[in-house]
Amino acid sequence: MSIEVNGKSIETDEEGYILNLSDWDEDIANELAKEEGIDMSENHWEVVNFLREYYDEYQIAPAVRVLTKAIGKKLGAEKGNSKYLYELFPYGPAKQACKIAGLPKPTGCI
C-alpha cells in the first residue's frame, strides 16, 4: 500500500503506517492525519513531536500508559491524562499519533 503526497508515493503497511521512518515530513503527517479524520492543531503537533523525540531516544513507540505519564511529566498534568489525549486522538492516542508521527505501531498496542 502507499499514499500520495506532493506527487511522491510513500509506502505504508496494510494498516497505513509508513514503512520508512526517513520518508516522513510534515506534509506526510498532515496527509496521514487527514486519513484519520484529524485536523492538526498545535496541540496535536505537540504530541506528535513528543513521540518522534521519544522514538529517537529509545527506539520504540511508547504504549499509551507510558505516553500519558511521560507527557504529564514534560507538558504538565492537564495534558498528561487520557481524557486530553483521547480528545485529540479519539481512536487511541498511541495508535493514531504514532501513525501520524511516521512511527511503527507501538509495542503492546491494543
Partner 1 sequence: MSEAGATKKFLYINRKAPYGTIYAWESLEVVLIGAAFEQDVSLLFMDDGVYQLIKGMDTKGIGMKNFSATYSALGDYDVNKIYVDKDALAERGLTLEDLQHLVWEDENEDWAEKDSIRLVSRDEIAGLLEEQDVIFNF
Residues that bind partner 1 (CB under 8 A): 57-60, 62-63, 65-66, 69-70, 73, 107-109
CB of 58 to partner 1, least distance (A): 4
Q: Quick one: 2 or 107, whose CB is closer to partner 1?
A: 107
CA distance 105 to 107: 6
Query: Is residue 98 annotated as a catalytic residue, yes or no?
Result: no
8 or 65: whose CB is closer to partner 1? 65
Amino acid type, 88 = L
Using a 10 angstrom Cβ sphere, with 0-12 exposed, 13-18 middle and 19 or more buried, the burial of residue 100 is: buried
